[in-house]
């Protein structure tokens, strides 16, 4: 039974399998290898995922959601129609769609997967991703960092030696990884990033810039107008490199405004975000103790790295053009598929060894009597960018007389004060009474390749050891809650695969109809009406012909690349 590799992206998702001929990307029900990470409900209350849902973002924003990956690992709920969903549940719906596509291609059930995550995803977010896989009916064999997956796709078969910097900027996150290849080993030396920096932030900054220039408050726009403006700015961002001046008609409030986007304006808007992107790059090089001249190749991953400005900044930093010969939108899925092949112990890949690192420092809180008034201080146990799997022990002692219990709080972060780091969980152990400082305990942290942390606390005087697997996640589900979530997702009505192409085309036509006026609107309405009649006839051959005709017609009015 095949294990699939999945790139669960903020903007788009993809999956692949490793075959004897290399990686095969799985086409979805519309024939595309990229599935927009968008979930919605249509007018009948049935669930739509992917391109069909994306087509409904503008005019049905109250029943369509996107970019929910940014909320993974939080307890935030998102309203979809009349129901509330967590980011984990919405991600599970995307994963379920990818799983069904793979099953349709392979002709067999798919129950296992390797799923990619941003390298800078914290422990909470990694647990949420694994849970999303479980809710989708997948056993998550491994979580693999996105830059590491990309590096596998680029370097696995060539087996070059050298140091490589992987820059991965997708729709919502930016990851930096420094890797070294030698003797069939791929070792991650450092990882850094920004969980809230991606292509969507550039588009949001563009929206804010336009509204500020035109002196219009964002709250004055309806949700449909905001989504329309977002799509137009996304189009400007994609084209600005080839078309330095773009004239756009904006629907703002009650008026339509003619506005011109220039390359100089975009550079001014993008500069603060590009400066943010430089910080994790510099931090990763410091952590790895590798100055720019020691980097043999810079590899770009993620659709947002197509921006000419981003490539120029990277080129100036390293004095060379970055590598981007593989499709940045699918390279992570390719690497995840290869890693899935590794999990099945494919003989052709057996000699490749992959190491990874812990992206955050993990530690506990201690009392420092030399600096009172600040609260507990952070005692690092596993430093960030330590190669994993790793197991490290530190010894602490009791802080007060006659203490009978010692609580080990678990944190991740880089601040010296625990209150400014991320709380992951705790483990309390009994200790014999005695003077302050007499009783000591050994705290052992063990961190694995999936980003899962196990804590062992041994009381030295008694020799007793207490253990806990840290699974703290805001919004995490216990067994009963997980069963309810599975029941809720199973009760949702999904569109059948065989008519998804028709529904996606109708959604596109409806979007164009609502965006049009006059003769153009009437023309689109007639075309949609004729297509509806063909669908009612239920003749598969005629439906295929009519779908092709309608698609070609809509192409005349829609110059956007929606995938």
Mean pLDDT of 12-32: 91
Q: Assess whether 132 and 231 both reside in one domain.
A: no
CB half-sphere exposure, 410, CA atoms < 13 A: 28
Number of domains in the chain: 4
pLDDT, one tens digit per residue, over 54-63 is 888 877 878 8
Domain with 371 in it: what CATH number?
A: 2.60.34.10
In a domain, 485, yes or no: no
In a domain, 277, yes or no: yes
In a domain, 148, yes or no: yes
Q: What length does the chain have?
A: 563
Which range marks the domain in which residue 538 is found?
497-555
Q: How confident is the model at residue 244 (pLDDT cuts 50, 70, 90)?
A: confident
User: Closest Cα partner for 38 from 553, 499, 507, 496?
Assistant: 507
In a domain, 238, yes or no: yes
Q: How confident is the model at residue 343 (pLDDT cuts 50, 70, 90)?
A: confident
In a domain, 242, yes or no: yes
pLDDT, one tens digit per residue, over 179-206 is 888 877 777 888 888 878 999 899 999 9
How many helices (H) and strands (E) in the chain? 13, 28
Q: What is d(CA 124, CA 114) in angstroms, rounded to the nearest whole number? A: 18
Q: What is d(CA 326, CA 334) in angstroms, rounded to the nearest whole number? A: 10
Q: What is d(CA 386, CA 334) in angstroms, rounded to the nearest whole number? A: 26
Q: pLDDT value at position 458?
A: 95
Task: List phi, psi (to 5°) of 277.
Answer: -70, -30
Buried/exposed 392-415: b ≥16 CB within 10 Å, e otherwise:
bebebebeeeebeebebbbbbbee
Residue 26, classed as helix, strand or coil, is coil
Q: Assess whether 173 and 308 both reside in one domain.
A: yes
Q: Assess whether 157 and 181 both reside in one domain.
A: yes
User: Higher model confidence: residue 487 or residue 410?
Assistant: 410
In a domain, 181, yes or no: yes
Q: What is d(CA 549, CA 542) in angstroms, rounded to the nearest whole number? A: 11
CA angle 518, 260, 249 (to 5 degrees): 15
Q: Assess whether 79 and 33 both reside in one domain.
A: yes
pLDDT, one tens digit per residue, over 288-326 is 999 999 998 899 998 899 999 999 999 999 998 898 888
Q: Assess whether 367 and 463 both reside in one domain.
A: yes
Gap between the terminal Cα atoms of the chain: 30
Q: What is d(CA 31, CA 16) in angstroms, rounded to the nearest whole number? A: 14
On whether the CB atoms of residues 343 and 18 are closer than 8 A, the answer is: no
Q: Assess whether 154 and 286 both reside in one domain.
A: yes
Where in 93-161 does DSSP place strands (E)? 112-117, 139-145
* Cα Rg of the chain, angstroms: 26
Q: Assess whether 246 and 378 both reside in one domain.
A: no
Boundary residue ending a domain (216, 240, 270): 270
In a domain, 535, yes or no: yes
- Mean pLDDT, the chain, rounded, equals 84
For residue 243, pLDDT over 90 is answered with no
**112-117 and 139-145 strand pairing:** parallel
Q: Assess whether 114 and 186 both reside in one domain.
A: yes
pLDDT, one tens digit per residue, over 62-75 is 888 988 888 888 88
User: Higher model confidence: residue 170 or residue 25?
Assistant: 25
Q: Residue 370 burial by CB count (10 A; 0-12/13-18/19+): exposed, middle or buried? A: exposed
DSSP H or E stretch at residue 404: none
Q: pLDDT value at position 71?
A: 86
């Amino acid at each position: 039974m095949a294990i699939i590799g999945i790139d669960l992206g903020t903007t788009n998702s993809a999956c692949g399998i490793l075959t004897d001929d290399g990686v095969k990307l799985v086409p979805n029900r519309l024939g595309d290898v990229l599935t927009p990470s968008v979930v919605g409900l249509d007018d009948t209350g049935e669930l739509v995922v992917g391109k069909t849902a994306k087509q409904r973002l503008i005019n049905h924003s109250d029943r369509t959601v996107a970019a929910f990956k940014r909320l993974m690992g939080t307890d935030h709920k998102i309203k979809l129609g009349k129901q509330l969903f967590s980011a984990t549940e919405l991600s599970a719906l995307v994963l379920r769609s990818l799983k069904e596509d793979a099953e349709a291609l392979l002709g067999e059930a798919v129950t296992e997967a390797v799923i990619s995550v941003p390298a800078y995803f914290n422990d909470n977010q990694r647990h949420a991703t694994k849970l999303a896989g479980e809710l989708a009916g997948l056993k998550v064999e491994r979580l693999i960092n996105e830059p590491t997956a990309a590096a596998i796709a680029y370097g696995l078969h060539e087996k070059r030696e050298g140091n490589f910097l992987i820059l991965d900027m997708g729709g919502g996150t930016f990851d930096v990884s420094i890797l070294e290849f030698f003797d069939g080993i791929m070792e991650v030396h450092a990882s850094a990033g920004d969980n809230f920096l991606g292509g969507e932030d550039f588009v949001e900054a563009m929206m804010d810039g336009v509204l500020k220039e035109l002196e219009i408050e964002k709250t004055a726009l309806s949700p449909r107008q905001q989504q329309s403006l977002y799509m137009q700015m996304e189009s400007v961002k994609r084209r600005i490199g080839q078309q330095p001046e773009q004239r756009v008609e904006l629907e703002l409030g009650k008026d339509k405004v003619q506005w011109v986007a220039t390359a100089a304006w975009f550079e001014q808007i993008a500069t603060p975000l590009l400066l943010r992107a430089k910080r994790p790059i510099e931090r990763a090089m410091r952590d790895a103790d590798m100055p720019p001249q020691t980097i043999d190749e810079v590899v770009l991953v993620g659709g947002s790295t197509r921006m000419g400005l981003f490539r120029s900044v990277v080129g100036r930093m390293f004095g060379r053009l970055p590598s981007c010969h593989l499709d940045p939108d699918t390279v992570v899925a390719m690497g995840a598929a290869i890693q899935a092949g590794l999990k099945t112990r494919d003989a052709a890949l057996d000699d490749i060894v992959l190491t990874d690192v812990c992206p955050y420092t993990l530690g506990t809180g201690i009392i420092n009597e030399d600096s009172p008034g600040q609260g507990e201080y952070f005692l690092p146990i596993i430093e960030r960018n330590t190669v994993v799997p790793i197991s490290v022990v530190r010894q602490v002692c009791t802080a007060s007389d006659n203490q009978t219990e010692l609580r080990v709080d678990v944190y991740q972060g880089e601040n010296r004060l625990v209150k400014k780091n991320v709380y992951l969980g705790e483990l309390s152990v009994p200790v014999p009474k005695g003077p302050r400082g007499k009783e000591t305990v050994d705290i052992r942290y063990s961190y694995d390749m999936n980003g899962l942390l196990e804590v062992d606390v041994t009381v030295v005087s008694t020799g007793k050891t207490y253990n806990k697997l840290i699974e703290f996640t805001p919004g995490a589900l216990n067994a009963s809650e997980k069963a309810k979530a599975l029941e809720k997702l199973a009760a949702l009505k999904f569109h059948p695969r065989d008519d998804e192409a028709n529904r996606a085309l109708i959604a596109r036509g409806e979007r164009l109809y609502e965006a049009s006026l006059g003769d153009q609107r009437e023309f689109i309405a007639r075309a949609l009406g004729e297509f509806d009649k063909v669908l009612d006839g239920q003749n598969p051959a005629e439906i295929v012909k009519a779908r092709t005709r309608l698609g070609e017609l809509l192409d005349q009015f829609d110059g956007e690349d929606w995938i």
